[in-house]
Amino acid sequence: MEFATASDETIDELEAVVDLMNDRMDQTNLHQKGDEVLIKSGDPLSIDDIKFADYLLSMSKELAVATIQRRIGSLSSLFDLSKNYNPTKEPLVILTFKKIHRKYGAPQKQATPLTYGILVKLKDACSHDIVGLRNKLLLQLGYETM
């Protein structure tokens, strides 16, 4: 299946929208940046599923699958809240993401589990004063409630 290629301008527009969603700016700067995006290219929120799928493919070359998934979620919320057409729910976009996940996906790095042996070593490393007793209690409580 061949995908139509999106222009660099469309990709830049979508990345600007994602940046708007993810930036930790104050409200004034957010409005100014949003106005710049809209003035630059009309309405970047009016995109069809083919261009969005191509945008995902272009991101897959540089970003991790989890990052792409977060961006899809952010853009989906933006499309829904702005009452625009939401291309993230279209079959073409869903299949494109699944293709990216199969090709580039890697398991998340999982934390080492807290086994009984590790718990004993951690508790032995705690001091015998009041702070150490508190730490032992917190470790035991965490272990028991997992």
Tens digit of each residue's pLDDT (9 = 90 or more) over 31-75: 444 334 333 445 667 788 888 888 888 888 888 899 999 999 998
Fill in the amino acid letter for 11.
I
pTM (2 d.p.): 0.50
Task: Report if residue 99 sits inside a domain.
Answer: yes
Question: According to the model, what pLDDT value does residue 60 have?
Answer: 87
What residues make up the domain containing 138?
Answer: 111-146
Fill in the amino acid letter for 35.
D
Could you tell me how far CA 63 lies from the centroid of its own chain?
A: 10
In the DSSP assignment, the letter for residue 87 is G
Q: Are 114 and 146 in contact (CB under 8 A)?
A: yes
CATH of the domain at 82: 1.10.150
Task: Report if residue 2 sits inside a domain.
Answer: no
Task: Report if residue 65 sits inside a domain.
Answer: yes
Residue 48 φ then ψ, to 5°: -90, 170
Count, residues in the chain: 146
Percentage of the chain modeled with pLDDT above 70: 71
Residue range 83-104, pLDDT digits in tens: 888 999 999 999 999 999 999 8
